[in-house]
Structure 1
C-alpha cells in the first residue's frame, strides 16, 4: 500500500456543468465515471483512468459560487492527521482556508493555501485501506504536477521543507525565472521527479496548481479538445524526456493540461 502522506493523490473538478465536463474529459482523456454512493449533499462522480479511480467531478457548491468561485481543478494531499498538519503547515507559512472537518464516508479534510496563495487540500481517508498511486505513466492519470507560484522562494521552501519534497534540477527560463523540478516521494532512493514549481506569469490571474493528464498521441488529443469545445492555450510543446504537452481550458473554463507522445513519422 502506497504511503500517501505529503503527496497529491486525488484530483477534483468543481464545475458549472458536471455532466458536460464528464462527457468532455471522457472523450479527451478516456475516463469512465460512476456516482459516489456516499452522502456528500451534492452529486459526486468518481472518475477513473486505466489504473483505477483518480478523482471526482461535482458542481460548484452554492456558497462557493456566491463567493465568486469559477470552475477549477484542485488536488488533495495525503495526511496522517489533518488537524495536526493544518496547524503545522500554518506555522510554516500556509493558511487554513477551511478548517478541518469530516466528510461522511470519506474522511477528514481541510482546505489550505500555500505561502504564495495556491490552494490545495489535505485529506485522511476514513478507511485504513489506502489508495495505491499507479506506477509508470498509465493513460488517464496525472503524470505531472506544476505550481504557478505566487511566491516562488517561499513556496519552494514550504513544499520541500514542511511537506518533505525533494528538489531536483533547476532550469533557467530567462525572463520567466527558474523552473524547479521537485519529487513528492522524497529521499535519494526516490529520484523520479513528479512536478515543477515556477513563478506565476503575469497572465495567470491567481497562483494555481496545474495537473497534467496522460494521453496517447498529443495531436489526436488536441483535436479532441477543440472538437469538444475546449481551448488550447499553449502547445503542443516538447519537453525533456521526449514527451509533448499542452495547456488548455475545458468548455466551462477550468484549466488543465495533457502530456502525451508524438509519432516520429
Structure 2
C-alpha cells in the first residue's frame, strides 16, 4: 500500500537550538541526538517508544531568516514522487517555495504552500528498514493532530483531497468561528481545517504533541518561558488541548488528559 498522504516527520526551525532542546525536552519529554552534516547540525527528537526519532530541529538558515521567516514548526507529508507532486501543487493553485532536492540517505523533499499560503513540506522518503512504524493512538511524544488555519474549508479542502487523497470526515459547528472540517488519511482521522481566525497573522498549520496530564504540561510550558495562548479546553472524546508559543516564538499545541 502506498504511503502517499501520510505525515512522516515534523521539524522546528528556531533561533536557539540549545534553548529549544531544554524546553521541549521538559514540556513534551523528548530526548535528543545531534547529527552533523557538513557545517550544519541537525537535532533528532525522540519519544520513549521511537528511538529513530519523531521530529527534528535546526537553526533557521540565514537565507530563510533574511526572508523574515520566524521560528516555526512544519510537517512533512509523504508523496510517491516529489517532483510530480511539486508540479501538482502548482497546477492546483499552490506554490513551490523550495524546489525538490535530495537529502542523502533520507529522501527527496520540497517546501510548498497551498493556494491560501499555508506552508508545509512534501517528501519521497528513502526505503525504510522494517516497513512503516505502527504507532498506537495517543502515544506520548508523538504528533496526534494536525490543524489548518486557512480559507473556508468547504473551498480549501479540495486542494488537499486532490494532492493526497485525504477524505472528509464530520463537519463540526464552531459557531461564530465557522465550520471545522475533520479529515482522514490511511491512519484514520488525523486533523481538522477551519477558516483562519483574525488573530492568526497568516494561514498556517498547527501541530499537536501528545502529553500526559495537560495541567502539568501547562506548568512546564510557563515555567520554561513559553506562553499558553488558548486553553486548556476540552475537545470531543474527552481530551484537553492547549495552544502555545515557545520561548523563541514558534507556535505549537499539546493534547492530553485531565485528572
Q: Same fold (TM over 0.5)?
A: yes
TM-score by length of 2: 0.94
**1:29-50, Cα deviation, whole Å (9 max, x unpaired):** 000110125x264210000113
**1:177-216, Cα deviation, whole Å (9 max, x unpaired):** 110011122xxxx7x3110000010100011110000000
Return the alpha-carbon distance in structure 1 between the equivalents of residues 67 and 25 of structure 2: 29
**1:210-230, Cα deviation, whole Å (9 max, x unpaired):** 000000000000000000000
Match of 1:64 in 2: 64
Return the alpha-carbon distance in structure 1 between the equivalents of residues 204 and 189 of structure 2: 19
SS in 1 for 2:40: coil
Match of 2:236 in 1: 240
TM-score by length of 1: 0.92
Q: Is the 8 A contact 2:13 2:71 kept in 1?
A: yes
Q: Is the 8 A contact 1:116 1:154 kept in 2?
A: no
Could you tell me how far 1:143 is from its partner in structure 2? 0.8
Return the alpha-carbon distance in structure 2 between the equivalents of residues 70 and 115 of structure 1: 21
Return the alpha-carbon distance in structure 2 between the equivalents of residues 107 and 27 of structure 1: 30
Q: Structure 2 stretches of 5 or more lacking a match? A: none
Show the 5 A alignment for 1:1-265.
3-37=2-36, 39=37, 41-52=39-50, 53-129=53-129, 131-132=132-133, 134-185=135-186, 192-263=188-259
Q: Which has the higher strand share?
A: 2
Return the alpha-carbon distance in structure 2 between the equivalents of residues 92 and 198 of structure 1: 19
Return the alpha-carbon distance in structure 1 between the equivalents of residues 38 and 66 of structure 2: 19
Return the alpha-carbon distance in structure 1 between the equivalents of residues 8 and 2 of structure 2: 10
Counterparts in 2 of 1:79 and 1:40: CA distance versus 1, 3 Å: farther
Return the alpha-carbon distance in structure 2 between the equivalents of residues 202 and 134 of structure 1: 35
Q: Where do 4+ consecutive residues of structure 1 move more than 6 Å?
A: none
Q: Structure 1 stretches of 5 or more lacking a match? A: none
Could you tell me how far 1:160 is from its partner in structure 2? 2.0
Aligned length: 256
Return the alpha-carbon distance in structure 2 between the equivalents of residues 162 and 66 of structure 1: 30
Q: Is the 8 A contact 2:233 2:242 kept in 1?
A: yes
Instruction: Give RMSD over aligned pairs.
Output: 1.6
Q: Is the 8 A contact 2:15 2:59 kept in 1?
A: yes
Return the alpha-carbon distance in structure 2 between the equivalents of residues 151 and 237 of structure 1: 23
Return the alpha-carbon distance in structure 2 between the equivalents of residues 255 and 166 of structure 1: 26
